[in-house]
């Protein structure tokens, strides 16, 4: 358990670096909205979801629009339903308490790293938690430093800090590429994402693109499907 926690933390070090940078940007924004460090830490601990926290801080006002914030967070985080579902093989054989305890510290970063690692070897759920703890600590550190440092980084976009998120997720997506059977699903996902980003508010494009890609893969012809089902079978045996 301990070595798997450490493995997970080590594998997430690059993600942690970008989470710190990204977190410091959120902290700077939060300082302008008048959040205290304790408000920030409560949010980091209870919500622990980067994109959602950015929107929460963006919507922050003297008289808090509580319901609107909750709905916005629900929409942005809809993808966690899919992320949670994709982690089911990792938690196979574990009880409800174990699942309830470990699922909270799942972010895009340690999820993607764990899925990628799972394709190479048998991974235990502690690997996911190790990454989650590291991300929680570094993300919180980044946000609080940004908050306290406040005006020190006046123009984060000048240093392309706002692009850190896009860059790190691009790198992660490349790591999840499954070969040519992904060409069509990714084309559909990317096109739907652009359309939804253009015409729909908020973060719907993530969920719509992802579901479109998933459905494209499901509609592929059955001959390939049989072959891939067999490959899938060995994956299951490997887990």
Partner 1 sequence: MLPVVETQVLIAIGLAAIATYSLRLGGLLLASRFPKAGRFRRGMDALPGALLFSLVVPGLVAEGLWGLCAGLLTALVVWRSKNTLAAMLAGMLVIYLARLA
**Residues from 150 through 189 that contact partner 1 (CB under 8 A):** 157-161, 163-178, 181-182, 185-186, 188-189
Q: Does 200 bind partner 1 (CB under 8 A)?
A: no
Count of residues that bind partner 1 according to CB under 8 A: 100
> Does residue 179 come out as left (phi exceeding 0), alpha (psi in the -120 to 50 range) or beta?
left
Q: Which two tokens stand for residue 170?
A: 């691009």
Distance of alpha carbon 63 from alpha carbon 30, whole angstroms:
15
Cβ contact 153:28 at 8 Å: yes
Q: Does 48 bind partner 1 (CB under 8 A)?
A: yes
CB of 99 or CB of 137, closer to partner 1: 99
Which one among 10, 32, 42, 152 touches partner 1, defined by CB under 8 A? 42
Cβ contact 28:146 at 8 Å: yes
Binding segment for partner 1 (CB under 8 A), chosen from 25-33, 70-78, 127-135, 142-150, is 70-78
Which one among 30, 87, 134, 153 touches partner 1, defined by CB under 8 A? 87
Cβ contact 140:107 at 8 Å: no
Q: Does 37 bind partner 1 (CB under 8 A)?
A: yes
Distance of alpha carbon 208 from alpha carbon 205, whole angstroms:
5
Binding segment for partner 1 (CB under 8 A), chosen from 25-33, 63-71, 128-136, 145-153, is 63-71
How near is the Cβ of 16 to partner 1 at its closest, in Å? 9
Distance of alpha carbon 239 from alpha carbon 228, whole angstroms:
16
Give φ, ψ of 199 to 5 degrees: -110, -15
CB of 2 or CB of 63, closer to partner 1: 63
């Amino acid at each position: 358990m301990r070595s798997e926690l450490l493995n997970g933390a080590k594998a997430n070090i690059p993600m942690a670096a970008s989470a710190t940078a990204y977190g410091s940007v959120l902290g700077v924004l939060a300082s302008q909205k008048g959040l205290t460090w304790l408000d920030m830490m409560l949010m980091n601990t209870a919500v622990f979801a980067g994109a959602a926290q950015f929107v929460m801080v963006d919507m922050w006002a003297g008289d808090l629009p509580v319901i609107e914030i909750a709905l916005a967070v629900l929409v942005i985080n809809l993808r966690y339903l899919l992320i949670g579902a994709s982690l089911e093989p990792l938690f196979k054989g574990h009880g409800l308490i174990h699942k309830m305890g470990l699922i909270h510290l799942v972010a895009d970063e340690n999820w993607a790293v764990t899925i990628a690692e799972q394709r190479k070897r048998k991974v235990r759920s502690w690997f996911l938690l190790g990454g989650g703890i590291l991300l929680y600590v570094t993300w919180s550190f980044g946000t609080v430093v940004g908050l306290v440092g406040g005006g020190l980084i006046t123009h984060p976009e000048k240093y392309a800090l706002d692009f850190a998120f896009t860059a790190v997720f691009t790198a992660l997506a490349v790591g999840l590429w499954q070969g040519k059977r992904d060409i069509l699903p990714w084309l559909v996902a990317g096109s739907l994402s652009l359309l939804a980003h253009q015409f729909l508010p908020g973060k719907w494009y993530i969920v719509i693109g992802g579901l479109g890609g998933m459905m494209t893969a499901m509609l592929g012809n059955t001959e390939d499907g049989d072959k891939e089902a067999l490959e899938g079978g060995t994956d299951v045996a490997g887990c």
